[in-house]
Structure 1
Amino acid sequence: MQSYIDVENDVVPSVCSLDCPDQCGLLVHKKDGKIVKTEGDPNHPVAKGNICNKVRNMRERIYDHKRIRTPLKRVGQKGDGKFISISWQEAIETITSHWKKLISEEGPESILPYSFYGNMGKINSEGMDRHFFHRLGSSQLDRTICSSAGSKGYSYTMGGGYGTDPEEMTETKLFIMWGINAVSTNMHQMMIAQKARKNGAKIVVIDVHKNQTGRMAGMKKRRVIIA
């Protein structure tokens, strides 16, 4: 029999929605409908209950008194930093009236939607906005910004878009971390690398900066290269 979860006052299983391919498992503690604590789900096959500080402090970010809760309208010159709060209705009317004017005078292609993921949510990443702007007839844009360049470079280097199952990487014998501070930016890769090192793997770091990853790799006679 499936157990019942009170989403208002219980520990609710979830996943991180930020722009990170790990998509870590979360256990969100809630009381009276509000988040009181966020921790990693130990049953996640890769993250194993480890999460970054950004998500660990989700409650503080969501309920911060400085968080913007209404649309803001600029009232000064660009760069002055002068804004006033307006209603959602006014914000929508301001945008739509401007768009209608552009469409009637310049055509729908004068509107160029420009964005990237922001997070990995279904709506925000590749959802309704694509349908909306396509229906509007706006200019179309390959919204990849940096990832298309990275994918092309990876293909030139590796010969294709190949990857390795994270759960098999503990059998790796050599890790080369070139220009990446993985301790700060790819914590779960470092967990796998540390586990593999216990099985005899070597970790080589190539970087122009001294960082935590280089110091970690330099432990126990591991080699650190500062290029």
Structure 2
Amino acid sequence: MAGAFDFKKEYRDLYLPKAKPALVDIPAMSFVAVVGEGNPNEENGAYAEALALQYAVSYTIKMAKMGPWQPEGYFDYVVPPLEGLWWTAAGGFDGRNILEKDKLNWVSLIRLPEFVTPDVFAWALEQVAAKKPELDAGRARFLTFAEGPCAQILHKGPYDDEPATVAELEAFIAANVLADDIADPKNAAALLDALDADGGVPPVRLHHEIYLGDPRRTKPENLRTVIRHPVRSA
């Protein structure tokens, strides 16, 4: 019997890059997204609440296999890794000023399989609202967009050590006669509307991280994070 579909293994170029910078063209995909601001390390803070909501939605969809109804085209899968788009109100955030965590704004993302439509997503939100009323299901948003041309690198080690890896990525971008295509969103609501590009490349693209380890269970030196920057011709 075939195992559950694992996005990380099937799309290694997107989720398991080498520790050297590379160019990649990111196709369209859908996400459960929650937007917020503040220190992601704050215990029981907005970021922790966002993650609880996202995983509740993701596992509700995954575990539809155990219920009386499954979405059309359903297949069993491993819930993809957590991702995040990051910026600050001051603008110009590229990951090198990551230590100013209280100033961070974020869109937390978890990829959804292709069979998830807006109707399936709405069904999942109804299930979460009924089973976990302590979560604000209304904060979750279904987004579909393509990130397009990007440069990315695998960072190994603590999150606070990311600036050195970002600097290596930036040097690679410049050496390829490219420039960051990071845009400063006017506000969170406008950002979500801009990101919902119906499969196209949105007008606002940001510093992007994909978390391949759980910091609650992994030693800081063993953490792995994909760092991705959208690029354009210089």
What is the TM-score with the length of structure 1 in the denominator?
A: 0.23
Structure whose alpha-carbon radius of gyration is higher: 1
Q: Which has the higher contact order (CA 8 A, sep 6+)?
A: 2
Please identify which structure carries the higher helix content.
1
What is the TM-score with the length of structure 2 in the denominator?
A: 0.22
Please identify which structure carries the higher strand content.
2
